[in-house]
Amino acid sequence: MSDIYIIDCNDNLINRLRQIFESKPKYNFIHIDPENLEVLSETSQDMIIINEESINTDVIELCKKTQENKESQGTPVVVISCDENESHKIKLLELGVNKFIPNTASDEYLYFDIKNAINLVLAHRECSPLTGLPGNHQIEKKLSEKLKNGETFQVLYFDLDNFKAYNDIYGYLDGDEIIKLTANIIQNHIKPLNKSFIGHVGGDDFVAIINGNSNAEEICEKIIDEFDEEVLKYFHDIDVKRGYLEEKNRKGKTERFPLTSISIGVVKANNNRFEKIQEIAETGAQVKNLAKRKAGSAYVINRRRGELKSKYLKKIVEDLKQKGTICNLHLKDVTKVIKESGREPLLISNINNIQTDIIYKSDMHGQAHTERVLMLALSMGILEGLKERDLQMLLETAKYHDIGRKNDEEDELHGARSAEMLESKDILQGYSQKEKNIIKMICACHSIDDKQIDEYVKRLPEEDRERCKKMLIILKDADALDRVRLKEGEGQLETRFLRTNTSKAMISAAYELYNNHKKNRQLLKKMQHVNR
C-alpha cells in the first residue's frame, strides 16, 4: 500500500484522485489541512501532493515546512498548480520539489504521472543506500522473469571471507569502503555483459545474473584478481606484510585471521533445471559454501544437471535404460556420477547439515548409515533422472528416515514415527505444504511392505503419486543396499529384493562404500576438496 498525502483546503483533488485510482486499491490517498502539517511528523509518506490552487498558505513556505520535517525528508513532493510561470516552477524545483503538474492535466495524464513516480520511489527504496544496487525484491523479480521465460542464464553469488574480523579491527566505516569496492569490481566485470543484472542482498552479499553463454570461469577469475589486488589498499602495511590480522579474544588470547578474500558460487540454470527461484538460491548457497572452504579467494561452479563428461558414464546411463541390462558399478563410478553431474555440493551440504542431535544413536542405523544412504540415494536419483527439487526432497528423507527408531529390530512403524518427528521438530522449513506431504509420505512408507505402498500413496493428490513413488523406491533401495553392514543370516542384502536396474548395478559400490566408510568416516566429506 502506497500512502499519498494530499495537502489541500478542500476535498476536490482527493476525491478526483480516489476516483481516478478507484481500480487500484494499493494507492491510499490521505487529506491534510495546510495548518495541520504536524501530522507528517507522526506518519511515513510515499508521496506528498500540494494543491497550490486551493491552499490559503504560500506554497513556497509550505514546501519549506515539509522539507524541515524529518519524516518527510526524502519523500517526493509534487505540486499541482495553475501558475505555470517558469520562474515559479524554478523556485519550487530549487526547494527540492520533484515534480510540477499543471492543474489542467487530464485524468489519464495525472494517473500515469503519479503512478510512475510512485514506482520509481519504491524502486529506489529497495536499492542499497550504500551501493545503490537493487535489493532482494528486484533480485527475486529478475530471477522469476527468467525462469518464467525459460531463459538459459547463470547466477553468481558473492560473499566476503573473514569480513567480520576486518570490521572488528578496522571499524564499520572502513568495512563499508570494502563493500563499496566489492560492488564496483563486480560492476566493472558484469555490467558490460549483455542482459546482465547485479543486486546487493545486504551486508557483504551480492548476486549477479549473466547470460548462459557468458564465460563464468573467466569472469570469476578476473573479479578475484582485481579484488585481491585492490583490497590490500584497505589494510595497514604490517597486516599486508604478515598476511593476516591479529586480535585478542575475550579470554585475552591472540587470534589470527586471514586477510579478507572473496568467494563466488556459480549456478548454471539451463535445460529447465529449476522450477523455483528458491531452488537456485539453495544451490547457490551450497556452491558458495564450497568456495568458502578453500583458502583465499575462490569460486565453485555448479554444473548443469545430467552433465556426464565421461563416455563410460554415458554408456552406463544408456545401459541402465535398457530393460534387463545390469551394469556393475563400483564406488569410483558412483563418485564420478555425483561429481560430474555437479551434485557434490548438494551431497556435502546435506551431510554437513545433518541434525545429529535427532539422529538415532546406533552403529547399525545411526549417522554412518545415514551418510551412506545419502550418497547411494543421490547417485541413484541422478541416474534415474530426478529433477533438482526432487533430489533435495529425496535427500531430506534420506537424512531423517530412521529418526523414529526405538531399536535396531524390524519395525514397520518407525518410518511413520520419523515422519511425525519431521513435522513436530519443524525440520521441513522452506518446503511448500505439498512438498512436506510428499517427504513425510516417503519417510512413513520406506519401512512398510511394498504391497502396502499404493494404499498409502493414494492419500496424495493424483498428480503427486508417481513422483512420490519414484523417490520412495529409490530411498528403499538405497536403504536396502546398505544392508551389507548386517551380519550373515540377519537380513543382509538380498539382491532379489532390489527394485530397479540402477540399484542392482550398485551392489559392488555399496560393499566398497561400507568397507571404506567404516575405515574412514571422512570419505564423503573429502569430495569437497575436488577441484572443478
532: pLDDT strictly greater than 50: no
The three cell numbers locating residue 106: 487530464
Q: What pLDDT is stored for residue 528 in this prediction? A: 44
Helices marked H in 247-361: 277-292, 311-321, 331-340, 344-352
Q: What is the pLDDT of residues 3-60, one digit of tens each?
A: 899 999 888 899 999 999 988 778 889 998 888 887 777 777 888 999 988 888 888 8
The three cell numbers locating residue 39: 501530522
Q: What is the pLDDT of residues 390-444, one digit of tens each?
A: 999 999 999 999 999 999 888 999 999 999 999 888 888 878 889 999 999 999 9
Q: What is the pLDDT of residues 298-327, one digit of tens each?
A: 998 886 544 444 555 567 677 776 655 567
- The answer to whether 509 and 330 are in contact (CB under 8 A) is yes
Q: What pLDDT is stored for residue 405 in this prediction? A: 93
95: pLDDT strictly greater than 70: yes
Please tell me whether residue 276 adopts helix, strand or coil conformation. Answer: coil
Torsion-angle region of residue 271: left (phi > 0), alpha (psi -120 to 50) or beta? Answer: left
Q: What is the DSSP string of 245-273?
A: EEEE-TTS-EEEEEPPEEEEEEEEE-TT-
Confidence grade of residue 336 (pLDDT, cut at 50, 70, 90): confident
The three cell numbers locating residue 389: 527439487
Confidence grade of residue 99 (pLDDT, cut at 50, 70, 90): confident
Q: CA–CA separation, 49 vs 40, rounded Å?
A: 12
Q: CA–CA separation, 259 vs 126, rounded Å?
A: 31
181: pLDDT strictly greater than 90: yes
Q: Give the Å distances, CA to CA, from 295 to 258, 292, 438, 449.
A: 9, 7, 39, 49
- With residue 300 as reference, give the H or E element that holds it: strand 298-302
Q: Any residues with CB less than 8 A from the CB of 25 and at least 6 apart, and which? A: none
Region of poorest pLDDT, from 203-217, 289-303, 402-416, 491-505: 491-505
Q: What pLDDT is stored for residue 308 in this prediction? A: 45
- In this prediction, residues 202-229 reach a mean pLDDT of 94
154: pLDDT strictly greater than 90: yes
Q: CA–CA separation, 265 vs 288, rounded Å?
A: 4
